[in-house]
């Protein structure tokens, strides 16, 4: 299934909702730090890493992922943009990171923290941050209270992602893990469609003939279409939220 998931997402600009504009906005909201050393966790094909590396306030970006083709794509893209010396791509699991304590001033993680869990991720990141260091991550959250959540969204996410919480609860988790919450903002609707859902729909059209011969791929694509349809109907009830925190 993992292999097919990578296959389904091959060539997509992102592996989760987001945009260069939102990456820049999140960085803008963080405190200034000259010589900032950044760790981009679960970098995927590297869109956020490239944006961060191009920022004057960032000295270097270390980007990690377990999927080698993503890292090869990032390395090539960084070189093409003249950012080769500012980006290091390393194949590494976020569950087994090998970095010395206080190696980074900023930990970045767009759409991947859920693999470990928010609490587990925050606890793993904290020792890697220098004093006063910050972390920025996006996470799928409920945007409305329980009484306002459409029934079909609750039924869907209880099965698809039972760990889904509100941003308020994630902020509480961050404080308990030794962070100060600097701010949050929900990703706009265009961050879902322009570089994630629309490209994913186009990719599924290209794979239609292949899916007809593969029951597993067909099921995976049907699940993706269900999620897209759910977002079309109920985008105000759930979405990705950027969380910006600093180590206490």
Tokens of 127: 């020792």
Work out the average pLDDT over 96-110: 97
Q: How far is it, in rounded angstroms, from Cα 121 to Cα 172?
A: 14
According to the model, what pLDDT value does residue 57 have? 87
Work out the average pLDDT over 37-63: 96
According to the model, what pLDDT value does residue 3 have? 86
60 vs 33, residue with greater confidence: 60
Task: Identify the band that residue 173 occupies on the pLDDT scale cut at 50, 70 and 90.
Answer: very high
Domain-located, residue 131: yes
According to the model, what pLDDT value does residue 34 have? 63
Domain-located, residue 149: no
According to the model, what pLDDT value does residue 1 have? 67
Torsion angle defined by CA atoms of residues 1, 139, 29 and 106, in that order, rounded to the nearest 10 degrees: -60
Q: What is the mean pLDDT of the chain?
A: 96
243 half-sphere exposure, CB direction, 13 A CA radius: 31
Domain-located, residue 236: no
Domain-located, residue 74: yes
Query: At 78, which CATH number?
Result: 3.40.50.150
Looking only at the bridges linking them, the beta strands covering 129-142 and 238-247 are antiparallel
According to the model, what pLDDT value does residue 89 have? 98
Q: Is the pLDDT of residue 248 over 80?
A: yes
Work out the average pLDDT over 87-91: 98
Task: Identify the band that residue 32 occupies on the pLDDT scale cut at 50, 70 and 90.
Answer: confident
Looking only at the bridges linking them, the beta strands covering 87-91 and 179-186 are unpaired
According to the model, what pLDDT value does residue 142 have? 98
**Beta carbons within 8 Å of 148's beta carbon, 6+ residues apart:** 237
Q: How far is CA 84 from CA 52, 75, 122, 199, 203, in A?
A: 13, 7, 29, 27, 29
Domain-located, residue 213: no
Domain-located, residue 28: yes
Domain-located, residue 68: yes
Q: How far is CA 237 from CA 68, 176, 190, 220, 233, in A?
A: 35, 26, 16, 24, 9
Q: How far is it, in rounded angstroms, from Cα 63 to Cα 42?
A: 7
Q: Please give the tally of structural domains in the chain.
A: 1
**Beta carbons within 8 Å of 227's beta carbon, 6+ residues apart:** 156, 160
Domain-located, residue 47: yes
Q: Are 248 and 134 in contact (CB under 8 A)?
A: no
Q: How far is it, in rounded angstroms, from Cα 235 to Cα 187?
A: 11
Q: Is the pLDDT of residue 114 over 70?
A: yes
- pTM (2 d.p.): 0.95
- What are the pLDDT digits (tens) for 181-195? 999 999 999 999 998
Domain boundaries, position 117: 14-140+162-187
Looking only at the bridges linking them, the beta strands covering 238-247 and 179-186 are antiparallel
Q: How far is it, in rounded angstroms, from Cα 99 to Cα 133?
A: 15
Work out the average pLDDT over 196-219: 95
């Amino acid at each position: 299934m993992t292999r097919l998931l990578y296959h389904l997402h091959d060539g997509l600009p992102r592996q989760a909702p987001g945009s260069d504009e939102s990456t820049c906005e999140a960085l803008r909201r963080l405190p200034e730090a000259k010589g900032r050393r950044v760790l981009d966790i679960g970098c995927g094909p590297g869109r956020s890493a490239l944006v961060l590396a191009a920022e004057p306030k960032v000295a270097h970006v270390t980007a990690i992922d377990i999927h080698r083709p993503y890292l090869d794509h990032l390395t090539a893209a960084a070189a093409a943009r003249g950012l080769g010396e500012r980006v290091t791509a390393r194949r590494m699991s976020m569950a087994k990171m090998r970095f010395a304590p206080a190696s980074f001033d900023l930990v970045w993680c767009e759409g991947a923290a859920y693999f470990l869990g928010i609490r587990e991720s925050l606890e793993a990141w904290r020792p890697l941050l220098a004093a006063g260091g910050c972390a920025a991550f996006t996470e799928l959250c409920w945007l409305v209270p329980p009484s306002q959540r459409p029934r079909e969204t609750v039924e869907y996410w209880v099965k698809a992602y039972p760990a889904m919480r509100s941003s308020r609860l994630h902020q509480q988790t961050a404080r308990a893990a030794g962070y100060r919450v600097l701010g949050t903002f929900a990703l706009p609707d265009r961050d879902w469609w322009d570089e994630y859902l629309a490209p994913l729909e186009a990719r599924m059209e290209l794979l239609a003939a292949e899916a007809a011969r593969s029951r597993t791929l067909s099921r995976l694509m049907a699940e993706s279409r269900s999620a897209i349809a759910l977002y079309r109907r109920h985008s105000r009830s759930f979405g990705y939220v950027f969380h910006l925190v600093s180590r206490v």
